[in-house]
Amino acid sequence: MRTRLALALLLAVAPLPLAAEVIGTMQPAAPLTEERIAQLPAAEQAAWRDYLARSVAAMARDKAVLEAERAALAEAGQPTPAPPPDGSTSGTLPLDRDPVWYGGAEARALADNVVSFQTPAGGWGKNQDRSAPPRVAGQHWIGADLKAGPYAAQDGAGGWSFVGTLDNDATVTELGLLARVQAQLPGTDGEPYRQSFRKGIAYLLAAELPGGGWPQVWPLKGGYHDALTLNDNVLVGTTALLQRVAAGNDDYAFLPADLRQQAAAAVERALAVMLDTQMEADGRPTIWAQQYDAITRQPAGARNFEPVALSTGESAAILQFLMRQPEPTPAMRTAITAGAAWFAAHALQDVAWNASDPEAGRLLIPEPGAGPLWARFYDPVTQTPIFGDRDRSIHDRVDEISRERRDGYSWYNTSGNAVARAYARWSAPG
C-alpha cells in the first residue's frame, strides 16, 4: 500500500491566513523512543524495543572503546590526538579505477585508513579525508569531536554525532573500496580488508529498521536522523550494495552463503519499502519524500528548511534504481510508469535558476527556451513547489525566503531529465 498522508500530517504545517506570505510552519521530526514504541499495538512492540536496545548498546560500546583508549593515554601522560581531517569521503575513495590499481600501494593505504576508522559498531563517519594517515588510539572516529563543541547542546546524541552513518554515501563507499582491494589480494594480505568488510555488512544488517530500510545515522542519534531515509542516496545506495553482496559475484565472491542470504532478505524488504512509500494524491501514485517516520512511515521533515514534501532528487534516484532491476514486478512497473509521468507533468519550462543579479542573489527568472527544471520540493497535496527557511517557515515562492537560504541550497534541479532518458530506454519495445 503506497503512503497516503494522514490528515494531521498534511504538509506538516500550521495553516495561516491565505493573505500571508508564509503558507505554513515546518514541524520537527519525531525521534524513535521508548515512549513512542509503547503506543504501538502490543504485537509490534518487541521488534522495535529490540532494535532500540541494539542501538543503545552499540553506542555504549563505541563510547567505551574511545574512553578506554583516552584513559590509557592520560595514564601514560600522553595528549588526546586531534580529530581526523575533514574532507570528501567519496572524493578520496575512488571506486572506478582499473582493477589492478586496487592491489597497489596507494589503494592499500586508503584501505588501511578505512579499516582503522571503522567504529566498534562496524560503520564509518562522513566527510573524511581517507588519504590521511590511519587512526591512532584515542583519536575520534569522526572529523570533529562534537562532545565539547558548540553544537553539543543541540545534538540529540549528547554530542556523539554521526559516529556511524549512511549520510553522504558514508559506509557504503568505504565498503565498496574494501571489496575492490581485497579482490586483488586473495591471500593473507587481503584478510584484514575482508574482515572489515564482513563487519561492515553486519553493521548494515543491525541498522536495518524493522520492516526494512535504514536511518540516516546508526547507532541512533535522535530527531530526523532516526527516520527511514531516502535522502543522500541512503536507501538506494545501501540496497544496491546489498544486491551485489547477495549475488556474490566478482569482488563479493568471498562472502559466505549465510551472509549473502541475509543481504538478499534485506534487499527484498528494501524494495518493498520503496514501493510502499511512493506517495499518492487523489488516489494516484506520485513520487517520494526525502524521509519517513521510522514507525508510521508517514513523510517527515528534516532540517528547519526541509519540510514534508515530495522530493524530486530522491525520487529520480528511486525511479532509476527500479528501472535497473532485471526482472521488475508488476508493482515496480506501475510505480515506474506513474513516477515518470509525474516528472513529465511537472517540468518547468522557459525559466532558469541562476544569480543573474549579484545584489539580489539566486532567483528563478524567465528565460525563453530554458529548462526543463523541477523544484526540489513539492507540496504533497497541491503538488506545487514549496520552499523552507531557517526559521521553519514554508513559502510558495522562492524569492520570499532569506537570501542565505536561496543562495545556499539547491531549490531547483534537472533530475527529471535523467528520469526521462532512463524511462525512454526502459519502456522501449524489445
Report, as residue numbers or ranges, the catalytic residues: 168, 303
What's the maximum distance between 2 C-alpha atoms anywhere in the chain? 72
374-375/377-378 β-pairing: unpaired
**Could you tell me if 306 and 31 are in contact, meaning their C-beta atoms sit under 8 angstroms apart?**
no
Q: How far apart are CA 149 and CA 158, in angstroms?
A: 11
377-378/310-311 β-pairing: antiparallel
Q: How far apart are CA 372 and CA 43, in angstroms?
A: 48
Burial of 24 (0-12, 13-18, 19+ CB in 10 A): buried
CB atoms closer than 10 angstroms to residue 344? 13
CA dist list (Å): 261 to 4, 137, 264: 32, 35, 5
CB atoms closer than 10 angstroms to residue 204? 23
Cell numbers 528565460: residue? 367
The phi-psi region of residue 213 (left if phi > 0; otherwise alpha if psi is between -120 and 50; otherwise beta) is left
Which among 427, 423, 404 is positioned nearest to 415, based on CA atoms? 423
Q: In the 8-state DSSP scheme, what is residue 381?
A: T
Q: How far apart are CA 87 and CA 92, in angstroms?
A: 8
How many CA atoms are closer than 13 Å to the CA of 38, on its beta-carbon side?
3
